[in-house]
């Protein structure tokens, strides 16, 4: 059978268990790419966006999660929901770096002769106009091989990202530095690219170069010739050869590295539903509660008392129970949690099957993104300041935490299975 003309694919780099360290304790219980944000696993937002682009026929998730049952379960369910697209998980035997998996699975990517393929970092939150990026790649990058999606960030913060310099007229990338030590450019790499398949040939050359250069010790995973950095070993050489072009987005964008940034991503994706999926947003029913203020997602299996007040920026997960008089704002309540009568949850993530007793407060401090950030919103994931003091942040309860009645838990991180019997502030409860 003839392959369809102009067929595209997408690859999502989902990393592996040792990648989500800043996301603890939440990444103890679920692979970080499956953490639910605005009611959907983080990577489902990328899958959903891809499923709306006619050209994209297949999505490949590449990562090194050894126990992949949860990922497989997710894929089964995603296949049912987005049945116009093939979705597969391709596991790496070890962490192969951001581009090693692309090389390892080059045959799978090239199968069916795609014109081009998207590459997404799993842990970015964005509401990109993929259609525009497809057009940009076909027109502006016609003679190039890579389109890199970028956004503007404040000078100081830009250095935590890949920094790109472009020719403003042609949009050709003229310089790329990964996380530079001094300021290079306020244009940062969003972790979303389009590659032409020729990039896979380049990866073959890199692999052979590694084989020649490295002493390959079979017990030293860092020495594996297949371990390749997308940023340093693809982007840098392609800039030098004038084959990388810069697509700039002015849509909100952020990374999802820490629990605090998940709260911000939750807000961003909920607000996006106004345009894409307004049926997912809860509405006030005439003369019946609960009172919904701003953007709120409530899973259809959750039970919310009519006197509760929810929002803005709230996600209520599967089988959650919210009692009478409860107030929830700027928070994610994970599946199976119970929030008892008259409790208050602000700027917090409540873990799976956790229990908040009546008249309790679980409260954190909202991270205000830098108001000078033009489009990129940076949420620091740091837990401690330079003097080793805990930075006030959101409160996170891990799985199966019990908070006794009339307790205040403020700016604290609580590990799974803890029983909180007295109030706490600025603590990590181990």
CB of 187 or CB of 298, closer to ligand GDD: 187
CB of 370 or CB of 427, closer to ligand GDD: 370
3-state helix, strand, coil in the chain (%, to 5): 25, 30, 45
Please count the other Cβ atoms lying within 10 Å of the Cβ belonging to residue 113: 11
Asked whether position 256 contacts ligand GDD by CB under 6 A, the answer is: no
Region binding ligand GDD by CB under 6 A among candidate stretches 35-43, 120-128, 260-268, 368-376: 120-128
User: Structure tokens of 231?
Assistant: 């940023």
Asked whether position 247 contacts ligand GDD by CB under 6 A, the answer is: no
Please state, in angstroms and as integers, the Cα–Cα distance from residue 18 to each residue in 27, 122, 162, 258, following that order.
9, 15, 21, 14
The single residue among 37, 96, 206, 310 that binds ligand GDD, judged by CB under 6 A, is 96
Phi-psi region at 307: left, alpha or beta (left = phi > 0; alpha = psi -120 to 50):
alpha
Asked whether position 193 contacts ligand GDD by CB under 6 A, the answer is: no
312 vs 315: CA distance, rounded Å: 9
Region binding ligand GDD by CB under 6 A among candidate stretches 95-103, 129-137, 210-218, 280-288: 95-103
User: Structure tokens of 161?
Assistant: 């990202």
The single residue among 8, 9, 10, 15 that binds ligand GDD, judged by CB under 6 A, is 15
CB of 225 or CB of 404, closer to ligand GDD: 225
Asked whether position 98 contacts ligand GDD by CB under 6 A, the answer is: yes
Q: Whose CA is closest to 91, among 58, 111, 61?
A: 61
The single residue among 51, 255, 272, 353 that binds ligand GDD, judged by CB under 6 A, is 255
Compute φ and ψ for 284, nearest 5 degrees: -75, 130
Q: How many residues bind ligand GDD (CB under 6 A)?
A: 26
Longest dimension (CA), the chain: 73
Region binding ligand GDD by CB under 6 A among candidate stretches 49-57, 62-70, 240-248, 284-292: 62-70
Residue span 146-185 as binding mask against ligand GDD, x where in contact by CB under 6 A, dash where not: ---------------xx---------------x-------
The single residue among 39, 63, 317, 323 that binds ligand GDD, judged by CB under 6 A, is 63
User: Structure tokens of 239?
Assistant: 């800039």
Please count the other Cβ atoms lying within 10 Å of the Cβ belonging to residue 409: 27
User: Structure tokens of 13?
Assistant: 């780099």
The single residue among 9, 19, 22, 280 that binds ligand GDD, judged by CB under 6 A, is 19
Query: How many CA atoms, within 13 angstroms, populate the side-chain half-sphere of residue 195?
Result: 27
Binding site for ligand GDD (CB under 6 A): 13-15, 19, 62-64, 92, 95-98, 101, 121-124, 161-162, 178, 188-191, 231, 255
């Amino acid at each position: 059978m003839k392959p369809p003309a102009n067929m595209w694919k997408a690859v999502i780099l989902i990393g592996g268990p040792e990648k989500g360290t800043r996301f603890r304790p939440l990444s103890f219980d679920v692979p970080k790419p499956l953490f639910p944000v605005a009611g959907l696993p983080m990577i489902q937002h990328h899958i959903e966006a891809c499923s709306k682009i006619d050209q994209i026929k297949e999505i490949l998730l590449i990562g090194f999660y050894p126990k992949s049952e949860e990922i497989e379960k997710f894929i089964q369910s995603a296949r049912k929901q987005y049945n116009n697209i093939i979705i597969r998980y391709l596991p790496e035997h070890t962490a192969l770096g951001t581009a090693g998996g692309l090389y390892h699975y080059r045959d799978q990517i090239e199968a069916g002769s795609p014109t081009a393929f998207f590459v997404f970092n799993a842990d970015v939150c964005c509401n990109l106009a993929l259609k525009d990026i497809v057009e940009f790649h076909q027109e502006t990058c016609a003679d190039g091989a890579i389109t890199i999606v970028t956004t503007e960030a404040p000078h100081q913060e830009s250095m935590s990202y890949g920094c790109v310099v472009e020719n403003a007229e042609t949009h050709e990338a003229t310089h790329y530095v990964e996380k530079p030590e001094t300021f290079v450019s306020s244009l940062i790499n969003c972790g979303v690219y389009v590659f032409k398949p020729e990039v896979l040939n380049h990866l073959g050359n890199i692999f052979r170069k590694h084989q020649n250069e490295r002493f390959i010790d079979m017990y030293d995973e860092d020495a594996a010739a297949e371990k390749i950095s997308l940023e340093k070993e693809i982007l840098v050489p392609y800039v030098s050869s004038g084959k990388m072009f810069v697509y700039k987005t002015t849509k909100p964008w952020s990374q999802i590295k820490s629990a605090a940034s998940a709260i911000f991503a939750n807000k961003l994706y909920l607000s996006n539903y106004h345009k894409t999926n307004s049926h997912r947003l809860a509405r006030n029913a005439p003369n019946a509660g609960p009172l919904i203020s701003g953007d709120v997602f409530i899973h259809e299996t959750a039970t919310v008392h009519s006197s509760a007040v929810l929002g803005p920026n709230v996600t209520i997960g599967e089988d959650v129970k919210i009692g009478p008089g409860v107030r929830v704002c700027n928070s994610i309540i994970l599946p199976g949690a119970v929030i008892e009568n008259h409790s208050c949850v602000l700027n917090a993530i409540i873990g799976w099957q956790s229990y908040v007793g009546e008249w309790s407060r679980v409260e954190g401090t909202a991270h205000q993104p830098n108001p000078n950030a033009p489009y990129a919103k940076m949420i620091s994931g740091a837990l401690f300041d330079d003097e080793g003091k805990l930075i006030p942040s959101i409160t996170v309860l891990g799985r199966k935490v019990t908070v006794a009645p009339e307790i205040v838990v403020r700016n604290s991180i609580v590990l799974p299975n803890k029983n909180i019997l007295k109030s706490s502030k600025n603590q990590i409860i181990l």
